[in-house]
Amino acid sequence: MHVRQLSGAPAAKVVTALPLRVRGLRVRAGGRELLRGIDVDFPAGQVTAVVGPTGCGKTTLLRALNRLHDDSTGLQVSGSVELAGADIYRDLGLREVRRRIGMLFQRPNPFPQSIQENVVIGARVHGLTGRSGARELAEARLREVGLWDAVKDRLGGNPYRLSGGQQQLLCLARALAVQPDVLLLDEPTSSLDPWATAQIEQLIRDLRERVTVVIVSHNLSQVARVADQVLFMVAGERVEVADVQAFFRHPSDPRTRRYVAGEAMTLPAMEERN
């Protein structure tokens, strides 16, 4: 198995990630409209940040992108979400959707199994590895997320003994082990310390060629650090989709301007990145 190093960018970037295209996406709960017809393209190999005030439907949108609403009764989803041209609600089976579009949650949620089992369980069930390749796969994914040295002596151990940041990295390794085309991140660092946050952000940027990333974030400086494109939402509606530079420097909508101005500390982060 090929193992990528964290540092040292590959010479030629070959984008193998796939684009996600959303049209007229609506989510209703009873009489309430949580999403009012969202149109947005998540380009292959880019990081798109979804931002907006609390309750604007960011998480609802994210969960519609891998059909997580299918499991909750009383929610109706309409519109289309196409992964490289195939509608995930009509053309693809649920389990295939879940394999190809992975998700990382606000708080780490390792399974009550050993550390190694956490990494390989998905890959095994989707037929991506046999019993014999499990250890190799675990090592490759754990190295990829930078957790290998911390856990190599306790692969059979309890994942809940790890720190919060390490648990989230383990969940990321678990999501990567099934070779997803898209990764959905729902405020993945909101419960983590700055060091773990930095590590996850670096990984998000490194992963871009292989997976298209959609990240919900409340933290505009994080958006400035990791995103290529920004989707700004208010009250279940798309306000604007813009390149990250344009979003912070020349927002076209007054609501975006106000939202960005409320978070002035994002600008230094932008300067640093350029």
Partner 1 sequence: MRRTAADLGFWAACWLALALVVGPAAWIVIGLVRKTWPVLSVDLLLKTTAQGGLQNALFGTLVLAAGVLILAAPIGIGAGVYMAEFASQRQASLFRFVSEVLAGIPSIVVGYAGYELLAIALGWGYSLLGGILALTALVVPYVVKSTEAALQQVPTSLREGAAALGLPRWLMLWKVLLPPALPGVLTGLVVALAISTGETAPLLYTANFSDANPPVQLLHHPVGYLTYVVYDYVQLPSARAHQLANAAATFTLFLLLLLIVLSRLLAARARRRTEQMGL
In the complex, the smallest distance separating the C-beta of residue 106 from partner 1, rounded to whole angstroms, is: 8
Cβ atoms of residues 88 and 82 within 8 Å: yes
Among 88, 92, 117, 204, binds partner 1 (CB under 8 A): 117
Instruction: Choose one: 111-119, 204-212, 245-253, 262-270; the region binding partner 1 (CB under 8 A).
Output: 111-119
How many residues make contact with partner 1 (CB under 8 A)?
30
Among 107, 135, 154, 255, binds partner 1 (CB under 8 A): 107
3-class state of residue 27 by DSSP: strand
113: contact with partner 1 by CB under 8 A:
yes
Cβ atoms of residues 191 and 106 within 8 Å: yes
Cβ atoms of residues 183 and 213 within 8 Å: yes
Instruction: Choose one: 80-88, 147-155, 171-179, 241-249; the region binding partner 1 (CB under 8 A).
Output: 171-179
Residues 120-149 that bind partner 1 (CB under 8 A): 121-122, 125-126
Q: How far is CA 223 from CA 184, 228, 260, 274, in A?
A: 14, 9, 11, 14
Cβ atoms of residues 226 and 215 within 8 Å: yes
92: contact with partner 1 by CB under 8 A:
no
CA atoms within 13 A on the CB side of 29: 10
Q: Which helix (H) or strand (E) holds 99?
A: helix 94-100
In the complex, the smallest distance separating the C-beta of residue 273 from partner 1, rounded to whole angstroms, is: 30
The span from the CA of 119 to the CA of 125, in Å, is 12
Instruction: Choose one: 50-58, 90-98, 140-148, 248-256; the region binding partner 1 (CB under 8 A).
Output: 90-98
The span from the CA of 175 to the CA of 237, in Å, is 29
96: contact with partner 1 by CB under 8 A:
yes
Specify the residue, 21 or 67, whose C-beta has the smaller distance to partner 1. 67
State the distance between the two ends of the chain, measured CA to CA, in whole angstroms.
35
Around Cβ 109, how many Cβ atoms within 10 Å? Answer: 13
73: contact with partner 1 by CB under 8 A:
yes
The span from the CA of 232 to the CA of 242, in Å, is 8
Question: In 112-234, which ranges are continuous DSSP H helix?
Answer: 115-125, 134-144, 148-151, 164-176, 194-207, 220-226
71: contact with partner 1 by CB under 8 A:
yes
165: contact with partner 1 by CB under 8 A:
no
103: contact with partner 1 by CB under 8 A:
yes
Phi, psi of 220 (to 5 degrees): -70, -30
Among 90, 127, 160, 274, binds partner 1 (CB under 8 A): 160
58: contact with partner 1 by CB under 8 A:
no
Specify the residue, 78 or 109, whose C-beta has the smaller distance to partner 1. 109
154: contact with partner 1 by CB under 8 A:
no
Binding stretches for partner 1 (CB under 8 A): 66, 68, 71, 73, 94-99, 102-103, 105, 107, 109-113, 117, 121-122, 125-126, 160, 164, 171, 174-175, 178
